[in-house]
Amino acid sequence: MPDWSYQTIFRPLLFRLPARVARGVTLRAMRTVSQIPGGTFVIKTLGHMEPAPILETDILGTTFPTPVGLSGAVDPDGTAVQAISQFGFGFVEIGPVTLHPIRSATAIQMKRQEESITYPSEFENCGLDEALHRIRKPNHRLPQLIRIASMPEVDTVQAISEMQTMMDILADEKGITAIVIEAISQDRSTAENEQVIALLTKYAKANQMKPILLYIPLNYPESLLEPILQGVDPEAWSGFVIGDRIANIHGVTVGKDGKLPCKSKLPFIRSHAKGKPLLFASAGVHEPADALELVNAGADYVMLHSGLIYAGPGLPKRVNEAIIYQKLKSAYPPPEQSFLKNWGWMCLLGIGMMIGGFIAWWIAVSTVLLPYDEAFLGMTREELHVINGHLLHFMSHDRITLAGTMLSIGIIYYQLARYGVKMGQHWAKTAVNASGAIGFPSFLLYLGYGFFDPLHAGAVAILLPMFLLSLRNNPDRLNRKPVNLHNNAVWRKALWGQLIFVFLGVGLCIGGITIAIVGITEVFVPQDLSFLGMTRDSIDRINPRLIPLIAHDRAGFGGALLADGVMVLIMSLWGIQQGAKWQWWTLLLGGAPGFIAGLSVHFDIGYTDFIHLSPAYLGCALYIVALILLYPYLMRSHKG
């Protein structure tokens, strides 16, 4: 459920449902996908959210892959943590957890304009026993923090007893990195809160507890917080977690408005607490800019809650990219790879494909048949035209569409190499490598019919070495360009454009596979035979070598279309980056030759069957709409 599908399709549908129902449907669906064979791979493929090593930190005795964590309230029962852990998170929170379960059936309220969520019960959870089961069988490899609290409305003595009991039970749990303790209550006096913290500190030291973090309520007054911070022993407490909820008459509310009080508390805690505590901020991160604000204010780590629901599952990845950019923007860039190291060969391959496309187009609009085609048939083009005037037109239409696809592939190869592979962008290398791995073998599909095309073979002999040389080692490099920071209208509009290009990429792949299969089996579809005014048997009777000749063009076109579609799909899934003007030009110039060739030749030869052309009509219309939607996002300058 990437952002391009969540914001455009799923969120509008889910937000029409009661919040509890929507949450249950979403989490169960993600769990189902993650549990089927290959499900985790599908999630990774759609999102491409693997964190970069530069984000790793070693704290509390373990490695956090990224500084972005998942709040425990997003999935309180752990239904889909296996799936959600693939979104680019660096750690997972479990909790709040109380000694006994607390359940509620009261509706959860959503306010879309404010981007807030109101929960009727502050401590709704599955209880410590169920939490222990999750800890021991997490179905993911991320560090886990557990946040514990006493049962509501108990007195101070009972609260201390319950938290000490849970600390004792959790002490030997290997799956826990740290324990977050809700030791501060706004229902107690400052002196009572200080007493609770002192007793828990003494207990932790005496029992050699795991690292513990003190939970700070989001709206706890700073005037009351100062004496508490000054009394916290840094030898016992590793840091602080600033909460994300504000109590009210309806329960507790979390949302975008929590960022400001959280941002205010960070420097306050940093200046009044002893030592160098770790600071976790869990309120108000709804877009990457929010996370950067909190980090700049002093947060070491951020956690996502309401922002994940309103912005979408791509938010962790976007926050990670923003943090990477902030880390690298002042660093000296690594030296550029030389032209012929690897990426230059892919540029040359793209140029070669474009030259081949132009040659194929020229042949298709002039002679159609080459001398070796006529030699294979034992007939001249004039003799063929006398038998059926549409045969040469039909073969020309196959060859022009192939030429247009070759031009598209060549343009995209060149652009991806020049602006993506050269910069060590993993997605760009994957796109061109996958396309080449599909495209070159597809040249050989026609051999099953016993026809050897020396022009195709010559092209392969020239271009294949370039492809192989482009595969030489080219280490991945992090993106150093400004990234998207805001969930604004331009971003939302671009998600629609991205969705359409994903759809087009899938469509091209399906179309390529279908055409290739038809090309090596039936060769013709009913509309083809209707245009020719002949049956397959009658064509075979004219010349038994005519169908193999036609088949080789069709199979080659299908393979080329699949190779083209794979690049469009990968670029749409992983590559769209705000302000990357070259990407918009790549999509425009890369798609235009295919649509121009495919539509113009059909009208030129009079093959205008609507059913046959409907995929091209739909694809062209979507292509234009997608380019319009992506234009502001890719082409206009933006401020980070």
In angstroms, the Cα distances linking 99 to 160, 171, 628 are 12, 15, 55
Same domain, 311 and 347: no
Answer yes or no: is 39 within a domain: no
Same domain, 320 and 349: no
Same domain, 315 and 387: no
Answer yes or no: is 337 within a domain: no
With tokens 């979403």, the residue in question is 26
For residues 244 and 283, the answer to whether their CB atoms sit within 8 Å is yes
Count, in order, helices (H) and strands (E) of the chain: 25, 14
Give the end of a domain, one of 328, 359, 391.
328
For residues 60 and 177, the answer to whether their CB atoms sit within 8 Å is yes
Same domain, 353 and 309: no
Answer yes or no: is 640 within a domain: no
HEC string of 180-200 equals EECCCCCCCCHHHHHHHHHHH
Same domain, 266 and 379: no
- CATH code of the domain containing 242: 3.20.20.70
Whether omega before 526 lies within 30 degrees of 0, making that bond cis, reads: no
Same domain, 355 and 317: no
> Which pair of structure tokens corresponds to residue 149?
């609290």
Answer yes or no: is 190 within a domain: yes
Mention every residue, 6+ apart, whose C-beta is less than 8 A from residue 87: 47, 49, 313, 314, 316, 317
Answer yes or no: is 23 within a domain: no
Answer yes or no: is 467 within a domain: yes
Give the end of a domain, one of 328, 356, 380.
328
Same domain, 136 and 279: yes
Give the end of a domain, one of 328, 357, 387.
328
Same domain, 228 and 162: yes
Answer yes or no: is 44 within a domain: no
Same domain, 541 and 583: yes
Dihedral sign (CA 478, 481, 485, 491): negative
Same domain, 240 and 368: no
Among candidate residues 271, 276, 275, 295, the one with its CA nearest the CA of residue 285:
295
Total domains in the chain come to 2
* Distance in angstroms (rounded) separating the CA atoms of residues 385 and 28: 62
335 CB burial (10 A radius; 0-12, 13-18, 19+): exposed
Q: What is the mean pLDDT of each run of 10 residues along the chain (640 residues)?
A: 90 94 93 83 72 91 95 92 90 95 92 95 92 91 95 92 94 92 92 93 87 95 93 94 92 95 96 95 96 97 96 94 91 83 93 95 93 92 90 94 96 96 92 93 70 84 93 85 93 96 96 91 91 92 91 89 96 93 96 95 94 94 97 80
Mention every residue, 6+ apart, whose C-beta is less than 8 A from residue 305: 71, 73, 74, 117, 244, 254, 282, 283, 285
Same domain, 406 and 433: yes
Answer yes or no: is 147 within a domain: yes
- 79-107: string of b/e by CB count within 10 Å (b at 16+)? bbbbbbbbbbbbbbbbbbbbbeebeeeee
Same domain, 347 and 240: no
Q: With H, G, I as helix, E, B as strand and everything else as coil, classify residue 251.
A: strand
Instruction: Write down the pLDDT at residue 552.
Output: 86
* Distance in angstroms (rounded) separating the CA atoms of residues 280 and 215: 9
Domain of residue 444, residue span? 343-473+481-635
